[in-house]
Amino acid sequence: MIHDILNIKTPAQEHAAALKSSYGLKNMGLRNLNRVYWNLTPESLYEEAIFRKEGNISHMGAFVVNTGTHTARSAKDKFIVKASPSEDNIDWNDGNRPISIEKFNAVYQRMLGFLQGRDLFVQDCYAGADPNFQLPVRIVTEYAWHSQFVRNMLIQPKTIDELYNFIPEFTVMSIPSFKGMPEIDGISTETFILLNFEDKICIIGNSGYGGEIKKAVFTVLNYLLPLQNILSMHCSANVDDNDNSALFFGLSGTGKTTLSADPSRSLIGDDEHGWSDDGVFNFEGGCYAKVINLSPSAEPEIYACTKMFGTILENVVYDPQTRIIDLDDEFLTENTRAAYPIEYISNSLPAKMAGHPKNVIMLTCDASGVMHPIARLTPDQAMYHFISGYTSKVGGTEVGLGQDPEITFSACFGAPFMVHHPYKYARMLKEKILKNNATCWIVNTGWTGGPYGIGKRMSIRYTRALLNAALAGKLADIEYYKDPVFGFEVPKHCEGVPDDVLKPSDTWGDKKAYEEKYLMLAALFIENFKKFTDGCPIEILDAGPNKKAKLNL
């Protein structure tokens, strides 16, 4: 590297190995490295990142980086090694595509050769706040800022002795400057995310997007924890003063982070959780919030985090003179992100663990503008909607996605990260709902008064009012009507929300157009669920929409 050729010391060079684990990188075959920087603090990582010209410090201290070509996850470039015994547990599909152990080893060996003579950064940390189910994870990165990203997103060991004696049970290596060879490796492009459950390693190449590291760890947990009867979930979670927690399922852009950051409740976590026999626990130590058009009035806590030292801002535009960021500028991508420790949210729960949920909320961003702002589900309906995972992908969250929302179905509200068959997760969800007497809701944070381009986005004020009422039990004994198509129960009234908002057809000027759009959406649900028919019992199939129903508006 150029600084070694010129004999220039890097800022953290002298203490790079001060917090080195006794279980070194040679155990993974890494040899002849230049220098390894172990478990550096945020301050040291800032200095290293600046020294290596990886990004810039913005006004107030957040670190701004450009992730390069990839400003979102590259879902189509993820492969899983097909080998015994894991192959019998994996639902092989377009999201879980197989790669042979021989192909994986060939890529890995080339990566090991590529890294000789180079610097690397290591963070030893944990995935999972519950000490009974924590996974020791080692993250090896090429970039210093990725190391800081990892410090924000995962859980840090509490003592120096833990670091010295740390032995990883899974390792993730992220090397953005290393490219795959599709014609030789059997992969789709030069970008790859390759998971090997037998050898307990994931390697990532040709992508600087921090979310790939985060979701690789999540995918590992989605494989391991259900085998221990722990439901792994793509959801945010918060809790009230009586230890009654709530879960918020949803894809990126549906409001998981925003709606769970409720000042009247304590935040458990914003994206990934487990549900064990003891309650819920966060997988992470931080938050990864989408910050495009972030409002200081509607989301003050998250907005404040964009100006804090230690926060990583991905692809956020800033003025190079004043260093002031512009959260409304989507020049680089609509998928701008902030990664920060959860402790930066003032009402976050330090333990990152809480009791069993009393409410389970499934968030959908309905671009067709016909879904109700809230509806109550039976446990079987909850399974149906959980497996369906209906929403609209919001621009930028995946490579190849345009600016306009795209109607989609993502099983378990996180299909790219789910390794087992969706019914396995759904069955566990129903069991836990029934055992803990939880109430299930589906909430539309998308459009009302018409589809995208005609209607308007659901008011966050109304959504918060509905959620507050549901979580406080105020919707338990009010009057409902049964939707003739989907069969779920819709409240007729809610304090702080106009009655016509609760009934979407009343917000449309053309009732006939509404009916056609609604029945079309129901047909899409039915068509999508056909691929799960063989794996689901009849009561789940019957919990879906009635294709012969009439709305009688």
Active site residue 53: no
393: its two tokens: 């992908």
Cα dihedral 339, 340, 345, 350, rounded to 10, equals: 120
Q: One of 86, 252, 333, 408 is an active-site residue; which one?
A: 252
Residue 131 near residue 165, CB atoms below 8 Å: no
**What is the Cα–Cα distance from 381 to 383, expressed in whole angstroms?**
5
How many angstroms from the chain centroid is the CA of residue 303? 19
Q: Is 126 helix (H, G, I), strand (E, B) or coil?
A: strand
d(CA 489, CA 468): 18
From the list 70, 138, 146, 234, the catalytic residue is 234
Distance from C-alpha of 315 to C-alpha of 208, rounded to nearest angstrom: 11
| Residue labelled with tokens 């087992």 | 420
Catalytic, 59? Answer: no
Q: How many Å apart are CA 252 and CA 476, to the nearest integer? A: 29
Q: Tell which phi-psi region holds residue 501, choosing left (phi > 0), alpha (psi between -120 and 50) or beta.
A: alpha
Tokens 């949210």 sit at which residue?
Answer: 345
* Number of residues assigned to the chain: 553
* C-alpha–C-alpha distance, residues 451 and 510, integer Å: 12
Closest by CA to 162, choosing from 20, 25, 40, 284, is 20
Closest CA to 353 of 440, 268, 270: 268
* Short-list 329, 319, 336, 345, CA closest to 58: 319
Pick the catalytic residue from 10, 232, 257, 388.
Answer: 257
The residues near 37 (Cβ < 8 Å, ≥ 6 apart) are: 12, 16, 44, 48, 119, 120, 121, 122, 144, 147
Q: Could you confirm whether 474 is annotated as catalytic?
A: no
* 396 φ/ψ angles, rounded to the nearest 5 degrees: 95, -10
Strand partners, 205: 175, 192
The residues, ordered by sequence, that sit 6+ positions from 218 with a Cβ below 8 Å of its Cβ are 232, 234, 272, 283, 417
**Residue of 20, 52, 70, 73 marked active site:** 73
Quick check: is 73 catalytic?
Answer: yes
Nearest CA-CA partner of 361 in 216, 487, 209, 471: 471
Give the residue carrying structure tokens 């994931």.
202
337 part of the active site: yes
Q: Which of 337, 372, 393, 430 is catalytic?
A: 337
Whether 270 is a known active-site residue: answer: no
Rounded-to-integer distance, Cα 252 and Cα 293, Å = 15
8 A C-beta contact, residue 546 and residue 484: yes
Q: The tokens of 261 are what?
A: 């950051």
Tell me if 236 sits within 8 A of 252, measured CB to CB.
no
DSSP 335-395: --EEEEEGGGSTTB-TT-EE--EEEEEEEE--TTS-S-S-EEE-HHHHHHHHHH-EEEE-T
Active site residue 256: yes
77, 185, 262, 271: which one is catalytic? 271
Q: Give the span between the Cα atoms of 208 and 178, in whole angstroms.
A: 11
Distance CA 123, CA 152 (A): 11
Q: Is 464 a catalytic residue?
A: no
> What residues act catalytically?
73, 215, 234, 252, 256-257, 271, 337
